[in-house]
């Protein structure tokens, strides 16, 4: 599933072709993705000017001058294609401006697209209980210390909880915990403030590097320009079971919460 860096990369790519552009056509080529498309999508957005593009957790937001925001989630296999040479069977939504044609392609249809009044975004159900952005100013060691106080669940699972921090996924949590030298199975409430400070810095370093690299290539993910992300070449532990860690230890794997966790028992404590 595309994670925060993949969505950030997607939004950055769309910004170059949609910012300040007037939408001339909205066409749905089926009734739904994971949920039905808004029935008034074309009526509300045709003729609207895109005033901004941003990200919240793993969602992309496209703001317009009509006070509406289109919210998209890429699901397992979704991606935007910019100026495609042809329309493919899984291009389920077409957006056109005077200069560009964009197609939202989603073979598995686990993605979603909603239209919400911009002023009501805080009440959008997935956003209501969402924690702070990991790249934002509210994500600090002091915040984590309070949020995790008394928690016996592992630090790995707590970082994946969107109520604790928004947008972190399995790959980047594994990578950040390794960089911060924290064992993923350690009880979250037992991680000290100095370690949490190290963890916050590690999360930001890993996410920034992944965004710069265009994300990680997993299954069907590609950037809007069609290029593949290459952060997977920089993975420290993820997907590297049995390989040597930079510290001289061996990368191990275990399953928790339905996900594989990769770590090094020598340098992560």
Q: How confident is the model at residue 221 (pLDDT cuts 50, 70, 90)?
A: very low
DSSP 154: B
To the query of whether residue 2 is one of the catalytic residues in this protein, the response is yes
Q: What was the pLDDT predicted at 138?
A: 98
- pLDDT, average across residues 67-87: 94
Q: Note the pLDDT of residue 231.
A: 58
Per the CB < 8 A criterion, the answer to whether 202 and 217 are in contact is no
Residue 27 forms beta bridges with which residues? 94
The confidence score (pLDDT) of residue 75 equals: 93
Catalytic pick from 186, 204, 259, 266? Answer: 259
In the annotation, is 108 catalytic? no
Query: What is the rounded average pLDDT of the residues 99-125?
Result: 97
Identify the active-site residue in 3, 6, 133, 175: 3
CA–CA gap between residue 231 and residue 216 (Å, rounded): 5
Q: Work out the mean pLDDT of the chain and round it to a whole number.
A: 93
User: Please, which contacts does 29-34 make with residues 24 or more away whose CB atoms are closer than 8 Å?
Assistant: 29/87, 29/91, 29/92, 29/93, 29/94, 30/92, 32/109, 33/75, 33/78, 33/92, 33/106, 33/109, 33/110, 33/111, 33/112, 33/113, 34/75, 34/109, 34/110, 34/111, 34/112
Nearest CA to 106 among 84, 85, 76, 83?
Answer: 76
225 — pLDDT class (breaks 50, 70, 90):
low
For the question of residue 58 being annotated catalytic, the response is yes
Catalytic residue among 55, 58, 81, 223: 58
- pLDDT single digits (tens) 169-181: 999 999 999 999 9
Residue 218 has pLDDT above 50, yes or no: no
């Amino acid at each position: 599933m595309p994670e925060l860096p993949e969505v950030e990369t997607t939004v950055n790519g769309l910004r170059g072709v949609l910012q300040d552009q007037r939408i001339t056509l909205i066409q749905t080529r089926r009734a739904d993705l994971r949920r039905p498309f808004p029935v008034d999508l074309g009526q509300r957005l045709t003729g609207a000017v895109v005033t901004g593009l941003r990200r919240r957790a793993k969602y992309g937001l496209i703001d317009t001058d009509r006070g509406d925001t289109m919210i998209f989630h890429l699901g397992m296999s979704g991606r935007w294609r910019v100026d495609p040479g042809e329309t493919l069977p899984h291009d389920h939504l077409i957006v056109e401006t005077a200069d560009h044609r964009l197609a939202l392609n989603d073979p598995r249809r686990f993605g979603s697209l909603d239209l919400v009044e911009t002023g009501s975004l805080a009440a959008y159900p997935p956003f209501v209980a969402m924690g702070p952005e990991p790249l934002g100013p509210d994500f600090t060691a002091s915040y984590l210390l309070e949020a995790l106080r008394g928690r016996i669940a592992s630090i790995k699972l707590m970082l994946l909880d969107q109520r604790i921090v928004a947008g972190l996924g399995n790959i980047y949590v594994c990578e950040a915990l390794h960089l911060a030298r924290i064992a993923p199975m350690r009880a979250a409430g037992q991680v000290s403030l100095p370690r949490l400070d190290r963890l916050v810095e590690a999360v930001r370093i890993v996410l920034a590097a992944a965004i710069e690299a265009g994300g990680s290539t997993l299954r069907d993910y590609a950037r809007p320009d069609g290029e593949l992300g290459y952060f997977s070449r920089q993975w420290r532990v993820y997907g590297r079971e049995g390989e040597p860690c930079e510290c001289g230890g061996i990368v191990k794997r275990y399953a928790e919460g339905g996900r594989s966790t990769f770590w090094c028992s020598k340098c992560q404590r």
